[in-house]
Structure 1
Amino acid sequence: MLKAVILIGGPQKGTRFRPLSFEVPKPLFPVAGVPMIQHHIEACVQVPGMQEILLIGFYQPDESLMQFLEAAQQEFNLPVRYLQEFAPLGTGGGLYHFRDQILAGGPEAFFVLNADVCSDFPLSAMLDVHRRHCHPFLLLGTRANRTQSLNYGCIVENPQTHEVLHYVEKPSTFISDIINCGIYLFSPEALTPLRDVFQRNQQERQLEDSPSSWPGAGTIRLEQDVFSNLAGKGQIYVHITEGIWSQIKSAGSALYASRLYLGQYQITHPERLAKHSPGGPRIRGNVYIHPTAKVAPSAVLGPNVSIGKGVTVGEGVRLRESIVLHGATLQEHTCVLHSIVGWGSTVGRWARVEGTPNDPNPNDPRARMDSESLFKDGKLLPAITILGCRVRIPAEVLILNSIVLPHKELSRSFTNQIIL
């Protein structure tokens, strides 16, 4: 019997995802047509013996989250429950705090997945490795180039046994090109080191004799507090994947993740991909169109486009490398490139909404998304364009490399600006 835990964080996280995270919890943001964590859940339910999926985080259980959980349980016929932390407890604190729920029923092992990653989730392959060797901790790793590896948790392995000999989170100098994917398979005994960290934290708080520090006693960081300390002690091993993987830290990386998932749909969900049909819009490459969307026959869509529920796409519209969210309207002959159009927004006739992608170097197979900064030398860097919720763009204007906050009605063109 197996379980899975998805770590979804909370509202004070995901600040780089604004203004999109104002409207919906980041884990529910649609990526390639479905909520971000639905990709995780779909991968988990494919593993034989999966009995329960637990979401751990400190979001308030609002209507959108509860509706998602209910729909997921019905669709996948598997218990999907949310366990709310009393405070942000780090990547390991929630696992220890809810250890009784995780271990209820006696699972042989449990997966732990960070919500803000995009992957093909090779969970069955990880389970095969675990059952052959039964190590307490199995980490999924992939490779990055030397420069970008510094932005991730770096793993030094024994190439024969795949034991993790050394682990450093975001090192200041090059350690290894193997990086942590944020996807794990733990044995029940893996919770013992978490208990040791918790008890050590409590003792330190008591010695400090500072009541204000007590709420932090339950905070456990898997990477720094557990993996770094246990590396080289025969408890942590790594399984390296050659499949797709990316972090989803910002709107730009969500757009890149959408492209990766749309490509995966060729294998996993071909029914989700739009196909060119007589009298329908012209489809180029991988495109997702929600069944309730209305798309004019003369529109040209793709590659790598996702169109949400109730969207209206007018005659002559050109859409490429973009996400159009629930209820948006693209009027006749608009052009939307490398952008995210927010819920209920309207783009006027002959307007152009365009951004600049920050994709990994296509000529480097180990390239990853760079850590995205909005500003350099006091200037807004070129990036994808984001229209927040219910933004109105007038006809015949250009919105280039800009971020428009929700409920704005623009009257002219903007370039390289954040419009408050």
Structure 2
Amino acid sequence: MKIIVPMAGRGSRLRPHTLTIPKPLIPIAGKPIVQRLVEGIAEVLEEEIDEIAFIISEDFGVEIEEKLKEIAKGLKAKSTIYYQDKPLGTGHAIMCAKESLEGPAVIAYADTLFKADFKLDKEADAVMWVKKVDNPEAFGVVNLNEDGHITELVEKPQDFVSDLAVIGIYYFKDVAQLKTQLEKVIEENIMHGGEYQINDGIKKMREQGAVFKPGQVDEWMDCGNKHVTVETNSRMLKFIHEEQKEKLISSSLKIHDAEIIEPCFIGENVFLKNAKIGPNVSIGNGTVVDNCTIKNSLIQEHSEITNAKLDKAMIGNFAKFNGEFTSVSLGDYSTLE
């Protein structure tokens, strides 16, 4: 089984945090978004992952590529790096990895996380992972027939079609079928908004008789902007704390007159002094927190936070923050004293 991860976009809605690091590498409960994504997929598939193909921008750099290779290695999978040189849509991004588009595969966009307990139907030609939503007009949704097969995929319907929203994760029994149809999409220059879309490849597969089925997830968590990323961090901390599958607080933590209200993630060599931390707080490696009350927030590595009362805050790496502000969004190397 392969996992194909298109992730070439920088994530403009999450700036300034994505000015120095791609959005999929932003940590959620102590792990990069893309790492939590592929680990979650592997857990649902319940089988060995042979390869993880990452489709990135070439300007991400060697350090990012090495981090992605480490993530694949953690699942005992081969890592392959492909480059998308132009932002020409989801279909174009997938075709940038055409050498890996053979056999069973999951394609997953690296800006969403999920919790699921369904059994993947590997007899279907393809499975589209979906979640019931209250506002289907804001999403791409699928319609089902009486056999539970997907018969229609509609983008942001103005009239009610279905409340099953597509979350951006797809299983293909043989992803070469999608490759063949996306090649036709590009040859025929079928574009929407100047981009080639995966949905047109899916439509052509269905026209050729491919059976698509839904796989419904229990939780769908977005990482598109600061507000929802902080919320996703809080939700993920709660899930991990309840399941007790991961150690959230490092043994190298140093405390002086500080209180921790779980769930929290606290990385290596963090120093908490005169502080009340939690619930729902992530603090990255090497960060110092002094005279602060922090809840529902995400703070990355090697930052200094002093004299602060923070709620729903997101602070990047190597940042310095000293003040009485709340609900802030500071990028890497920012200083506010």
TM range (shorter): 0.7 to 0.9
The within-5 A match list for 1:331-410 is 331=306, 333-348=307-322, 351-355=323-327, 385-394=328-337
CA gap of 1:273–1:161, structure 2 versus 1, over 3 A, is: farther
Identity among equivalent positions (%) equals: 18
Q: Deviation digits for residues 116-154 of structure 1, max 9, x if unmatched? A: 0011255x722xx12xxx222201111001xx2111111
**Is residue 239 of structure 1 aligned with residue 224 of structure 2?**
no
Give the match's secondary structure for 2:59. Answer: coil
**Does the CA-based 8 Å contact 2:7-2:109 persist in structure 1?**
yes
Q: Which has the larger radius of gyration?
A: 1
CA gap of 1:150–1:293, structure 2 versus 1, over 3 A, is: same
CA gap of 1:284–1:136, structure 2 versus 1, over 3 A, is: same
The within-5 A match list for 1:180-191 is 180-188=166-174, 190-191=175-176
The within-5 A match list for 1:13-412 is 14-46=11-43, 47-103=46-102, 107=103, 109-120=104-115, 122=117, 125-126=119-120, 129-130=121-122, 134-145=123-134, 148-158=135-145, 160-188=146-174, 190-204=175-189, 220-223=196-199, 225-228=200-203, 235-241=211-217, 243-266=218-241, 267=243, 269-273=245-249, 281-296=258-273, 298-314=274-290, 316-331=291-306, 333-348=307-322, 351-355=323-327, 385-394=328-337
Structure (1/2) with the larger strand percentage: 2
State the alpha-carbon separation in 2 of the partners of residues 69 and 9 from structure 1.
13
Specify every segment of 5 or more residues in structure 2 that has no aligned partner in the other structure, as ranges: none
State the alpha-carbon separation in 1 of the partners of residues 257 and 176 from structure 2.
54
Give the match's secondary structure for 2:63. Answer: helix
Give the match's secondary structure for 2:329. Answer: strand
Give the match's secondary structure for 2:181. Answer: helix
Higher relative contact order (Cα pairs below 8 Å, separated by 6+ residues): 2
Give the match's secondary structure for 1:288. Answer: strand
**Is residue 7 of structure 1 aligned with residue 1 of structure 2?**
no
Give the match's secondary structure for 1:10. Answer: coil
Q: Deviation digits for residues 307-352 of structure 1, max 9, x if unmatched? A: 01110011x3101111112111112x4211111122222222xx22
Q: Partner of 1:370 in structure 2? A: none
**Does the CA-based 8 Å contact 1:40-1:121 persist in structure 2?**
no
Give the match's secondary structure for 2:18. Answer: helix
Q: Partner of 1:362 in structure 2? A: none
State the alpha-carbon separation in 2 of the partners of residues 194 and 52 from structure 1.
17
Give the match's secondary structure for 1:270. Answer: coil
Q: Match for 1:98: what amino acid? A: A
Q: Match for 1:336: what amino acid? A: L
**Does the CA-based 8 Å contact 2:141-2:155 persist in structure 1?**
yes
CA gap of 1:73–1:174, structure 2 versus 1, over 3 A, is: closer
Specify every segment of 5 or more residues in structure 1 that has no aligned partner in the other structure, as ranges: 206-212, 356-384, 395-420
**Does the CA-based 8 Å contact 1:273-1:286 persist in structure 2?**
no
1:281 shift after superposition: 2.9
State the alpha-carbon separation in 2 of the partners of residues 54 and 151 from structure 1.
29
1:250 shift after superposition: 0.9
Give the match's secondary structure for 1:27. Answer: helix
Give the match's secondary structure for 1:88. Answer: coil
| Alignment coverage as a number of residue pairs | 330
